[in-house]
Each structure stands twice: as structure tokens, then as C-alpha cells.
Amino acid sequence: MNSGLIKKIEDKSCVVGIVGLGYVGIPLMLRFVEAGFSVVGFDIDQDKVDVLNSGRSPIEHIPSAAIASAIDSGFKAVCGFEGVREADALILCVPTPLNKYREPDISCIISTVDGIVPHLRAGQLVSLESTTYPGTTEEELLPRMQSSGLRVGTDVFLVFSPEREDPGNPDYTTRTIPKVCGGVTPACSEVGCALYGMVIDKVVPVSSTRAAEMTKLLENIHRAINIGLVNEMKIVADKMGIDIHEVIRAAATKPFGFVPYYPGPGLGGHCIPIDPFYLTWKAREFGVHTRFIELAGEVNSSMPEWVVQKIIQALNDRGMAVKGARVLVLGVAYKKNVDDMRESPAIRLMELLKARGAILEYSDPHVPEFRCDHSQTSFSDLKSVPLTSEIISDFDLLLLTTNHDRFDYSLIKENAKLIVDTRGVFSGALPNVVKA
């Protein structure tokens, strides 16, 4: 059966279904359309489906023109799982957050698979791209697919291929980022690699879905640990009166044995603050306590509190208290030049400052209106403040949390009474700048 599906993939008669139309699903959809495949998108958010079908993009860094072009090429989005049976390949790109106990929440994966299983037919490929703990594909997806009576590896095919999107990164695209792929069986892996090989420049096959799942976690845990290290180094350097950003720039001139990582106000985004917990949770099943990973998590999660203490000290040095101070937060996206607020450390900083009585507003050219979830309702009425010399000088303190390129840093430096810089934007000793 896999030879028939591979033939459809190679002659591009294969219909691709993307389940989950977000920061991962939409770029993947665009790449398959660009390569000449017929693509259908599935999402449970009717508003998002309507936006896409009207030719508009729900994500800032993805132009609406690209969505409109995909529509012209035959792409359509549907709400729910209607039409799943017509797709030859189903790629699942659904969120995998943590629950309130900081444990993996794969409920979106489970509900999605439960939704598509009744529509499965022979000759289909299912690929999971959502970051998760090793064993998810075999322990959760495999038995559900087999419950349909179809034999995985013979009738239908199952792979895990972790997403590697980096929103806002101009140097890498969906096509140029190598794609790891592991199948439940060799036949599954063959089909998965064939599909991704049609749209990705380099496919990296691994021996199993577990190996592919662990690969994604290693990539992000590697970053989390190194960021934790440099955040701890920042605290030590600050105590010693040393500019950690100057040190990193100097160390980065070594042509071997050193990779620069940069400190900040905490971790943000959909991967780095979350993925390590997926492995630590699963490791406990095997009696392993991941002390190194958890220590890095403790350091990174403590950074907002450390920044707040720097703010308190900076205001005290000027005879002011946090309570009643007017604070303008510069950047609420989790990283520069994107509109993604997921797990942004700026939000935690705002919560901490508000609890201490600060009066908060924010400015972010990528986030015109504060998009809140259940933990951020106290800021739901905020809108981005434009940066003018008059507005800047009206605040007691500017807290730089996200170093967007669109900020006018000269204007900020010249007009701000006090700046707390968590990103190392302002170099040298400046009377109105505190490094944090």
C-alpha cells in the first residue's frame, strides 16, 4: 500500500491536509501549495478559518498576499474534520502546552486524533508535528489508529516529524530548515520521508518516532540550559559590575568551542519555556530525576523577579517607589520582530509590577492590542502606546523587554528619564540606563 501512496506523493496527486492553522501549520500549508500540492486546512477556530478563506493572514509576519495566492491555487480552510477522508496525508500541528501543574497537556493531540480516526481510510499518512514527550506517537496515536481496524504500516502510515519553525527569522524558511522524520515502521518512515522530501530541501530520517520526539526536546532543552547558564552569568556579572553583553561579544570572537547565547528577562515562546517539562515529566516514569534541566528551569523562571528587583533599586536610587510609578513596557511579544505573545516574559513582569502598584502601559509595533488569555485579563483593555518624545518623557521608567528593530532607540535614549534594559541594547555607561 505504501508504494501507491508514494507514487501519489511523487506525482503530486496527493491531497495534503494540515490540521491546526497556526504558527506552524500556515507556513507548512504555504510550502505545500508552493510545491504544487492540493492542500486543505482544518482548524476548530471558525474565526481563523473565515480569516484565511477571505485571503487574509492571522499572523503578522506572514503576508496576506501569500494567503490570497494560496486561495487562488485551490487552498481552503474548514472548521472541524469535514473532508479529512479526502486527504491522503494528514499533518497535525496542534498546540501542546502545560497544565496548571506544569505537566504536559496533550489533550489537543488526543482530541484531534479522536476526531480524525472515524474518517480514516486505507492509503493515508498521519504525521504528528506537535512537540511532545518521547512515546506519545506510539502510546497515544498508534492504538487509536489501530482501533479503526486499519493496520499501521500496511494500510495506513504514522510518523512523527517535529516542527522547526522560527517565526521572524529571515535567514531560514520552511523549505530550508532540515526536517527530521521517524516512522512507527520502516514503511511508515519511507512514506513520511517521501512526503517531506517533496517540499523540504533536506530530510533527516531517524530510526523511530521516539527518536524523532527526543530530537525535538534535545534541541530546545539545549537552548534552555544554555540560556539558563548565561542568565546566571548575568547575575554574577552584575554583582561584579561587569557588562555581560560585552563579555559575550568578546567570547564570541573565539572561532571554536563557544556558541553565544544571550540573557533576557525570562524565557518566552511556545517551545523553550515548555518543552523541558515534557522530558522531565516522562523521565520520572523511568525513575530518572533530570536535575540539570530542572535547575536551568529554575534560573530562567526566576529572571522576571530579578528584573523587578533591579527596577525597584533603580527607582529607589532616584527617590521613587514602584507603587504609583508610571512604567512603559517596550515590547510584549516574546521575541523581537514578531507578534507572538505566547509565554512572553513581559507578561510576567507586568503582573509582578502591577501587584506592586505600578501604573502600566506598553508599546509594541507588532502588537497593537493586548491579546489576553485567562491569566492576563487584567491587561485586556491595553493598547500599544505610540513612541514620541512627549510620551516617552511622561513616564517614570521605560522597561525594555523585547528589542524590536522598529523601536527608535535614539529617541528612547534621548527622552527617557530612566530605562531598564533587559536586552543589552544600550551599550556603555549611560546616566539614564540600568542594565538588567
Residues involved in catalysis? 271
- Give one word for 352, left, alpha or beta, with left for phi > 0 and alpha for psi -120 to 50: alpha
List C-alpha distances in Å: 293 to 6, 145, 281, 378, 435. Answer: 40, 33, 11, 32, 27
DSSP secondary structure string for all residues of 14-37: PEEEEE--STTHHHHHHHHHHTT-
Alpha-carbon distance of 419 to 396, in angstroms, equals 9
Residue 336 near residue 268, CB atoms below 8 Å: no
Cβ neighbors of 117 (< 8 A, separation 6 or more) are 144, 145, 147, 148
Q: Which three cell numbers stand for residue 349?
A: 513582569
**Terminal-residue alpha carbon distance, the chain:** 59
> Distance between CA 133 and CA 278 in Å, rounded?
5
DSSP 290: -
